[in-house]
Amino acid sequence: MNDFALPITHYALSGDVSIAYQTIGDGPVDLILVPGFLNHVEFMHELPGYTAFLRRLAAFSRVVSFDKRGQGLSDRVSDAPSLEQRMDDVRAVMDAIGSPQAILLGNSEGCAMSVVFSATYPERVSKLILYGGYVNRRDLSGSLEERARERAMLWGTGSMIITVIPSAAANPHAVALFGKFERLSASPGAVKGFMILNAQIDVSSVLPTVRVPTLVLHRRTDAHIPIELGRELASLIPNAKYRVS
Q: Are 124 and 94 in contact (CB under 8 A)?
A: yes
Query: Where does 10-141+202-244 sit in CATH, by number?
Result: 3.40.50.1820
Whole-number pLDDT of residue 224: 83
Q: What are the C-alpha distances in Å from 129 to residues 135, 149, 188, 214? A: 15, 32, 30, 6
Taking residue 48's Cβ as centre, other Cβ atoms within 10 Å add up to 10
Q: Are 41 and 11 in contact (CB under 8 A)?
A: no
Domain residue spans in the chain? 10-141+202-244, 142-200
Q: What pTM did the predictor assign? A: 0.92
CA atoms in the 13 A half-sphere facing the CB of 187: 12
**What tens digit of pLDDT does each residue of 87-144 get?**
899 999 999 999 999 999 999 989 999 999 999 999 999 999 999 999 998 877 667 7
Whole-number pLDDT of residue 2: 42
- Proportion of the chain above pLDDT 70, given as a percent: 97
Calpha distance 153→191 (Å, rounded) = 10
Calpha distance 183→179 (Å, rounded) = 6
214 pLDDT higher than 70: yes
Mean pLDDT of the chain: 92
